[in-house]
């Protein structure tokens, strides 16, 4: 059984894949330029997620308005680990923060927000584990776009294929088409403050 709070992702020695969903205008421009450009907003928080199935639940497999295109963004692990280092949880976890006031002070100054959401199965069923979301504030988005991104792919056709397989009861084939994800170990100094299970 997976640990309750663990980061699972598609990664190699130097990079990690995170997912986002956008409308076709933003997505097509990002793929063409291999970086985010207008009308992508650099003035608000953007959330990146390493769990494919959690984003499928969130975007309704690309059927939610404004989230029709699913992007797989391969970014430098150095950047991902930096984001985790800057991260502050979105709730005042008692075992992490001495008081809600201390948490609020750290949260308000944080460059990155960390949120844990219920992980989902292939069919959208809630699982007994959590998936990490990393919110990059406007103060760090430029670094993400200019320095951390290695490649941007539009994987919407793959998403549609898997979605159709599930709808037709071909669960085994759908599962085989999923991106490969395994447990990711961030720097140990980030584990305790972000509730990440180390291994």
Q: What pLDDT, in 10s, does the model give residues 157-175? A: 999 999 999 999 999 999 9
The predicted structure's pLDDT at residue 197: 82
d(C-alpha 199, C-alpha 185), whole Å: 7
The DSSP code sequence of 102-155 is HHHHHHHH-SEEEEEEEEE-TT--EEEEEEEEEEEPTTTHHHIIIIIEEEEEE-
Q: What is the mean pLDDT of residues 107-114?
A: 97
Position 8 pLDDT exceeds 50: yes
**Torsion of the alpha carbons at 123, 125, 131 and 136, rounded to the nearest 10:** 70
Range 84-94 average pLDDT: 96
User: Would you say residue 198 has pLDDT above 80?
Assistant: no
Three-class SS state of 46:
strand
pLDDT band at 83 (very low <50, low <70, confident <90, very high): very high
Domain ranges of the chain: 7-180
């Amino acid at each position: 059984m997976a640990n309750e709070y663990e980061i699972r992702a598609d990664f190699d020695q130097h990079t990690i894949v995170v997912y986002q969903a956008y409308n076709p205008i933003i997505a097509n421009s990002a793929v063409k330029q291999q970086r985010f450009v207008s009308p992508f907003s650099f003035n608000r928080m953007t959330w990146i997620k390493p769990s494919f199935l959690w984003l499928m639940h969130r975007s309704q497999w690309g059927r939610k308005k404004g989230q029709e295109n699913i992007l797989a963004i391969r970014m430098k692990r150095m950047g991902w680990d930096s984001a985790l280092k800057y991260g502050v949880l979105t709730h005042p976890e008692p075992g992490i923060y001495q008081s809600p006031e201390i948490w609020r002070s750290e949260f308000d100054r944080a460059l990155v927000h960390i949120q844990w959401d219920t992980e989902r199965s292939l069919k959208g069923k809630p699982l007994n584990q959590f998936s990490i979301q990393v919110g990059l504030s406007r103060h760090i988005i430029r670094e993400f776009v200019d320095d951390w991104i290695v490649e941007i792919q539009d994987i919407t056709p793959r998403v549609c294929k898997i979605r159709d397989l599930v709808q037709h009861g071909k669960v085994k084939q759908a599962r085989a088409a999923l991106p490969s994800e395994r447990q990711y170990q961030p720097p140990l100094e980030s584990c305790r403050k972000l509730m990440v299970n180390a291994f």
